[in-house]
């Protein structure tokens, strides 16, 4: 069934004309399937490259990247051919589908989700990035379902790589920490590698998952040749974690117990 928009009155100098109802616009799916009127060839991937017969006007309207590329002094604006070997054909297919129809699959795999988001960031398609983030938030906020660590790693990695807004990234990390799975994630080498690669993730996790009762030593207090100290509120004194410190148990944000 095709939804229809109501009749729209159009005013002229002498009278008002009722325009007939028309189906809701859903993009250009037919142009995507039929290359007859295409005026641009986009080659993506390698081994071998895959060619897409597309339309300059649509790409330029929907993507700032293509707008600049096709309306400038770049050679692509003259040759009517664009080569993007770094883009995977499968991901480009999904992105092009969105550009032509506004449609996307919300049940995509983590690697496809990451690929689409990073490609949308590269092509400067903000509305597609927002659509992918809607999928991410639905998964993160659905506490009724277990969140696969692969999704956690994929999402945090793609946001750190694309310079995602730090405030929004912190809110996402706060929501992830509510699942109390940090200890489990830290057991995964791929999660540790992620934190090694993107220091901002480690910092935000530490800042939002502090151990109650411990305040880090202000910068410059400890000398480089001694082991780290903390102020222990239970002892009300500075303590060297390596020695002379009674054991206290604290609840971590991940749900595990820590003996300090």
Are 72 and 30 contacting, i.e. CB atoms less than 8 angstroms apart?
no
The domain limits of the chain are 1-125, 142-209, 213-260
Residues 173-197 have pLDDT tens digits of 999 999 989 989 999 999 999 999 9
Are 209 and 255 contacting, i.e. CB atoms less than 8 angstroms apart?
no
Average pLDDT over residues 217-231: 42
Q: In the prediction, which pLDDT does 127 show?
A: 94
Distances (CA, A) of 237 to 133, 216, 217, 231: 45, 12, 11, 6
Average pLDDT over residues 38-53: 92
Q: Which residue from 31, 6, 11 is spatially nearest to 21, judged by alpha carbons?
A: 6
Lowest mean pLDDT among 76-80, 109-113, 165-169: 76-80
Residues 227-247 have pLDDT tens digits of 444 445 555 555 554 444 455
The CATH class given to the 1-125 domain equals alpha beta
Angle at which helices 126-141 and 149-161 cross, to 10°: 150
Distance CA 111, CA 97 (A): 18
Q: Which residue from 144, 147, 114 is spatially nearest to 132, judged by alpha carbons?
A: 114
Q: Which residue from 139, 144, 130, 69 is spatially nearest to 102, judged by alpha carbons?
A: 130
Q: Both ends of the chain: CA-CA distance in Å?
A: 64
Average pLDDT over residues 68-94: 87
Distances (CA, A) of 32 to 95, 98, 251, 254: 12, 11, 55, 47
């Amino acid at each position: 069934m095709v939804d229809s928009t109501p009749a729209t009155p159009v005013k002229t100098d002498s009278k008002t004309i009722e325009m007939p109802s028309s189906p809701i616009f859903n993009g250009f799916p037919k142009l995507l399937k039929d290359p007859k009127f295409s005026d641009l060839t986009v080659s993506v991937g390698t081994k071998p490259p895959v060619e897409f017969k597309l339309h300059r006007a649509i790409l330029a309207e929907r993507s700032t990247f293509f707008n600049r590329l096709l309306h400038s002094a770049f050679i692509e604006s003259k040759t009517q051919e664009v080569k993007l070997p770094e883009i995977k054909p499968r991901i480009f297919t999904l992105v092009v589908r969105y550009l032509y129809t506004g449609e996307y699959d919300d049940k995509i795999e983590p690697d496809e989700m990451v690929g689409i988001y990073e490609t949308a960031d590269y092509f400067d398609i903000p509305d597609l990035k927002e659509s992918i983030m809607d999928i991410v938030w639905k998964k993160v906020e659905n506490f009724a379902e277990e969140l696969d660590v692969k999704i956690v790693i994929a999402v945090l990695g793609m946001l750190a790589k694309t310079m995602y807004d730090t405030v929004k990234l912190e809110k996402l990390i706060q929501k992830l920490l509510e699942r109390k799975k940090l200890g489990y994630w830290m057991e995964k080498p791929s999660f540790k590698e992620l934190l090694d690669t993107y220091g901002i993730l480690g910092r935000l996790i530490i800042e939002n998952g502090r151990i109650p009762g411990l305040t880090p030593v202000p910068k410059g207090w400890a000398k480089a040749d001694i082991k780290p100290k903390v102020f222990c509120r239970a002892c009300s004194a500075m303590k060297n974690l390596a020695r002379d410190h009674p054991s206290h148990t604290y609840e971590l944000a991940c749900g595990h117990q820590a003996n300090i």
